[in-house]
Amino acid sequence: MKPSAPRDYVNAVDHPRLIAQLLYNRGIAAADVQFFVDPTLTPEHDVFDLCDMDKAVRRIYRALLQQETIGVFGDFDVDGVTATQVIREALTWLGANVVSYIPNRFTQGHGLHASGVKWLRNQGATLVVTCDCGVSDLAEAEKAASLGIDLIITDHHVPLSRLPKAAAVINAKRPDNRYPYTEFAGVGIAFKLMQAVYRGRNDASNLDQLLELVALGTVADMVALTGENRQFVHKGLQVLNGTTRPGLQALIQVSGLKPGVVTSGDVSWALGPRINSSGRIDDAAMSLRLLETSSQEEAERLASELDAVNSQRQQLTVEVYEHVLVNLAAQADRPLLFASDESYPEGVIGLVAGKVSKEYYRPAVVVTIGTDVCRGSSRSIPEFDLARALEECSDLLVTFGGHPMAAGFSVSIENLPALEERLVALAAERLDGMDLQPRLEIDAEVPMKALGGRNYQLMRMLEPFGQHNPEPVFLSRGVEVTECRSLRNHEKWTSLRLRQDGILWDAVDFRTLRGPDDVPKLIDVVYTLRLRRWNGEETLQANIADLAPSTLD
């Protein structure tokens, strides 16, 4: 349970006590509340404070003046695909001849790849802008230079101690960076570059229509929704809810969402996974084409295909997760969990690692074993920096990169056992003495009736929700379960009717996996709230995070 907000804080915030508590829990100083509830007030900093931004803009303008072909090299996740489209579209408006390239996860892997760079050079590109990748790809940058290509790297991953050879390296996490905000997604860095290119132009306001792409990539990549990211997503959701982009209109439709009321949660749980799915199962070119197309017919076809691929991805994730749990049965007491197998599809191992890390509250690594090279994906907890750990294992790795909480790598099959041993040893050293138990952080204990009406409307001011600004979590005690049944032909997912103080609530439980026969009749319940829309009506629904037999008489 989060500690109660001090009285002087509550008095200084011009909102009801519950809302003040939620703001306090998120570390929002009383003086900053106005900027938080209205992100448009957040001041933007000088984009040229980002290292190398002046060099990048000069090189792009030279390319425009000399009518060079500009290549854009992206990544195959939502962040990389949206960043690619932001740069492709913005440069095309300026009259540039732009060609784009998204690598294949299965044949090329993450990051800048020499074959992709060579393909762009064969299309005539003499300048290549990377999106969401490149900052750790030293050899590939050298290869680009040898082909006569100038690189502008835009990336948000943690840089190595040495930067790649490039005309410009734009990354807010560079240690010599002057820019005061560092938590951008790759698409945020790409957008900052385009802001710099457009600065002073009469058509600079056109960039705002690209904010729907920035919002998609920022939310899907799970970066902190603070500062400028919060502003990007706030504005971007407004654009998305009035989108004229056929691909996004079709994707909203096929996802079962209502145009005009799409939230950051809808991006996380519906739109983002569908855009991501093509790169996880096959080729991300389908997702990029969805964002590019001006054809309604093509958009509907692509959205339908992505929906089907996403269903396939969901089933595959469940199957691999269950297999990984069996493999990890003997590792429950280890500080880092490490599972490897030839059968694990590379496209879902990151998702599986995330589920394992969340379930056990440990850093988790899942590896697809190949004939010569193995590819791994890892997810962590705040107490263990994965990016730093992988850098300390760089002598064993072929490639690596990522964030403190999520990272990927490739390793030769001969070095795989040594890598596992070293990562477990690093985790044992850094997590020694810590109580590594999964926990739920609860914002407030309230009766359920306190959450409807005006309080719920005021809670909406905290949106968009995401990393560092999670959906509010509540605890209510002594709640009666009047009905509980299995949901969607899944015996461990349940739909419930709850009653407290004479008020009935609908609830769903995808988390506890108890099943109807294991749910007590009187419970203490931890949950978040969602607005459920059905047949034109809106009702509040509790999404259960945990429950237990009630401690109240």
pLDDT digits (tens, 9 = 90+) for 207-235: 999 999 999 999 999 899 988 999 999 99
Among 365-369, 375-379, 388-392, 433-437, name the one with the lowest average pLDDT. Answer: 433-437
% of the chain exceeding 90 in pLDDT? 75
pLDDT above 70: residue 535: no
7-22: pLDDT as tens digits: 999 999 989 999 999 9
Q: Contact, 526 vs 474, CB < 8 A? A: yes
What residue spans of 147-226 are helical by DSSP H? 186-198, 211-220
Check residue 388 and give its pLDDT: 92
Rounded distance, CA 445 to CA 476, Å? 6
Which one, of 542, 498, 540, lies nearest residue 520 by Cα? Answer: 498
- Which one-letter DSSP state was computed for residue 466? B
Tell me the per-residue pLDDT of 336-362, one tens digit each, with 9 for 90 and over. 999 999 999 988 999 999 999 988 999
CB contact at 8 A, 378 and 403: no
Show the domains of the chain with their CATH numbers: 47-205 (3.90.1640.30), 328-430 (3.10.310.30), 440-549 (2.40.50.460)
pLDDT band at 532 (very low <50, low <70, confident <90, very high): confident
- Give pLDDT tens digits for 42-56: 888 999 999 999 999
Residue 243: predicted pLDDT: 97
Dump pLDDT digits (tens) for 157-176.
Answer: 989 889 999 999 999 999 99
Residue whose entry in the numeric block shows the structure tokens 């509250």? 361
Average pLDDT, the chain: 92
| Predicted local confidence at residue 430, as pLDDT | 95
Contact at 8 Å (CB) between 131 and 75? yes
Q: pLDDT tier at 553 (50, 70, 90 boundaries)?
A: low
- Residue ranges in 284-295 assigned as alpha helix (H): 285-292
Q: Is 76's pLDDT higher than 80?
A: yes
pLDDT of res. 536 = 65
In this structure, what token pair is assigned to residue 490?
């899944």
Residues 6+ apart with CB under 8 A from 430: 383, 384
What does the block give as tokens for 484? 């509980």
* Packing angle, helices 272-281 and 246-254, rounded to 10: 100
112-123 pLDDT, tens digit per residue, is 889 999 999 999
The Cα 222–Cα 468 span in angstroms is 9
Q: Report the alpha-carbon angle 466-224-176, nearest 5.
A: 170
pLDDT score at 540: 86
Q: Contact 471/459 with Cβ under 8 angstroms? A: no
> Is 154 a residue whose pLDDT tops 90?
yes
Residue 1 has pLDDT above 90, yes or no: yes
What pLDDT, on the 0 to 100 scale, is given for residue 489? Answer: 64
Of 112-121, 181-190, 273-282, least confident by mean pLDDT is 273-282
pLDDT of amino acid 145: 95
